[in-house]
Structure 1
Amino acid sequence: MILAELFSIILRLAELAFAAIVAGLNGDYLHAVHGVSAWHLGRFIYTEVVAGLAMLLAIIWLFPFSSSFIHWPADFIMSVCWFAAFGLLVDWLGQSCGDVFDWRGLDFYGTATCAQWKATVAFTFLSAICWLASAILGIYWVRRHTVTVADGPYHRRRWYRSRV
């Protein structure tokens, strides 16, 4: 199963890179709007927390051990958190910069706020997909490597029966 371990490492590196990009772009916005109520910045603070947690978990689980596959429930939960952040950012962006995935006519020079927000939304979505793929890979690996009582030569001896 070296292929699954290699794919897992690639996914973890992508998760780490995407979370770092989202944290950087979102952190730049949070830094620029200092003095605004935290209530109005809730969706950005949530996205920053999810990105920080994703970076931490991706670094911890980057090491290629077989135990990294059993974390698939946490991978799924992180995927749900990223999809929630994606929805919050899309809702905030609205139609102010055009359609969310319409990249035509963007100006990447000067302030480029629309380009920055569209990049943040895009990398949030990509991170959610990578975490979901890690969860699916973990489920696949665990199901392939779990021995059930009916499949294996292992029979459970009842506690009240002796070997004699």
Structure 2
Amino acid sequence: MPAFTRFLSFLFRVGEIAFAAVVAGIVGYYLHLWSDCDDCSKARYIYTEVIAALSLFFGIILLIPFTSSIVAWHLDIILSLTWFAAFGLLVDALGSVPCGSPWDWSGLVNSDDCSRWKAAEAFSFLSAIFWLASAVLGIYFIWFVGGRTAQRRYWYGRYDV
């Protein structure tokens, strides 16, 4: 595997782990605060927390530098789609909170609830993009880099004595 591809894959995995940890921390904090609320609908937040936990687990497993970690593009696509769904759920949840538009990023230096929720929204989107980029890198490796090395091995392997 080319060194640049391996390095890029490593950077994507580290980003995926970091973004999932941030989202898990923010959403987990609010789930803890709402643990006594019986009439609260927490399904979207539990879903986001589960996706963050799965991303942490698979991100750490796939961080181990083997070729199989870059060819797990199927898992990367699935996790990317689940992160896009979590992002949509967080955007929908922010619509019912008096924080303004989900796309209004002014005043995020405050440490209030709106800033935290918008940070969770932003990091869930970044996580989706990084998982998608890992999938694209894996597909690139399989189709363009892996195919040529397999043909070379087969070509030279036929004439070994």
Q: TM-score, normalised by structure 2?
A: 0.86
Question: 2:61 corresponds to which residue?
Answer: 60
Structure 1 CA distance for aligned equivalents of residues 130 and 39 of structure 2 = 29
Q: CA deviation at 1:106?
A: 4.1
Question: 2:99 corresponds to which residue?
Answer: 97
Structure 2 CA distance for aligned equivalents of residues 88 and 5 of structure 1 = 33
Structure 2 CA distance for aligned equivalents of residues 82 and 26 of structure 1 = 14
Letter in 2 for 1:26: V
Question: 1:158 corresponds to which residue?
Answer: none
Q: Which runs of 5+ in 2 are unaligned?
A: 157-161
What is the percentage of aligned positions where both structures have the same residue? 48
Q: CA deviation at 1:138?
A: 0.3
Q: TM-score, normalised by structure 1?
A: 0.85
Which structure shows the bigger proportion of residues in helix conformation?
2
Larger radius of gyration: 1
Structure 1 CA distance for aligned equivalents of residues 40 and 155 of structure 2 = 59
Q: Secondary structure at the match of 1:146?
A: helix
Moved more, 95-104 or 133-142: 95-104
1:117 is aligned to 2:117: yes
Q: Which runs of 5+ in 1 are unaligned?
A: 155-164
1:31-60 CA deviation, whole Å, 9 max, x = no partner? 001123487100000000000000000000
Give me the CA root mean square deviation.
Answer: 2.0
Residues 143 and 116 of structure 1: CA distance in aligned 2, closer, same or farther (over 3 Å): same
